[in-house]
Amino acid sequence: MLTKGGCPKNMLSIRDALEALEGRWKLLILFSLQAGAKRFKEISKEVNGITDKTLSKELKILEMNRLVKREVYDTFPPTVEYTITAHGKSLEKVMEELHYWGLAHRKEIMGK
Amino acid sequence: MLTKGGCPKNMLSIRDALEALEGRWKLLILFSLQAGAKRFKEISKEVNGITDKTLSKELKILEMNRLVKREVYDTFPPTVEYTITAHGKSLEKVMEELHYWGLAHRKEIMGK
């Protein structure tokens, strides 16, 4: 295991990842975009509990980190859609492991 | 892929995981404990940038979530050590994926 032994160099990359994904919302937003491009209101509806202000701020940070792309279509009125980038999609394994661990954690905490 | 398609049920388990691991410190603390039991000051030194107040708060939450065990040894003065539990160790795959992704992210952001 690469992470065994608490090697400081590995801690640095985990820190990089945690900083880019900080908070409880970014991965949930990316998860909701995995199913396809979405408009602001659609994301806001899917990611239960997020306020519009927070979603707007989080989308900007995700865009800055090249995880999400914002596209404006020349319709009337203009349509804005958010899509997950290839780099955002590369988080799939992280999300999958978090999903499995989340299930195990619920069992550990609630099931005993 | 289980996480494909943004299935709301999978989002719930990811949300559970993110809530238990919230913030930028918990996984770093657990990572530092993977190498073996440590005293408060040792963790504080390894997890660069954390304040004693935050470390103390985070350790309590980790203990509550059964990820860390606090052990008091009957020495004079008493020794307190923190160890990672089996449940904490089960985060190894999550950390490994975050490590790989952190490396890729650094390349994506800095390397272009």
Q: What is the pLDDT of residues A90-109, one digit of tens each?
A: 999 999 999 999 999 999 98
Task: Please give the average per-residue pLDDT across A17-22, as a whole number.
Answer: 93
Choose the mutation target among B4, B14, B62, B112 for the interface with A, i.e. most A CBs under 10 Å: B14
Is A19 among the domain residues? no
Task: Please give the average per-residue pLDDT across A20-39, as a whole number.
Answer: 94
The C-alpha of A29 sits at a distance from chain B's nearest C-alpha, in angstroms, of 10
Which residues of A fall within a CB distance of 8 Å from B92?
A: 1, 3
Inter-chain contacts counted by CB atoms under 8 A, chains A and B: 163
**Mean pLDDT over all residues of chain B?**
91
Is B8 among the domain residues? no
Q: What residue has token string 């490994």?
A: B96
Is A103 among the domain residues? yes
Burial class (CB in 10 A: 0-12, 13-18, 19+), B20: buried
Is A54 among the domain residues? yes
Which residues of A fall within a CB distance of 8 Å from B93?
A: 97, 100-101
Is B95 among the domain residues? yes
Of B5, B33, B100, the CB nearest to A35: B5
Burial class (CB in 10 A: 0-12, 13-18, 19+), A25: buried
The count of domains in chain A is: 1
CATH of the domain at B98: 1.10.10.10
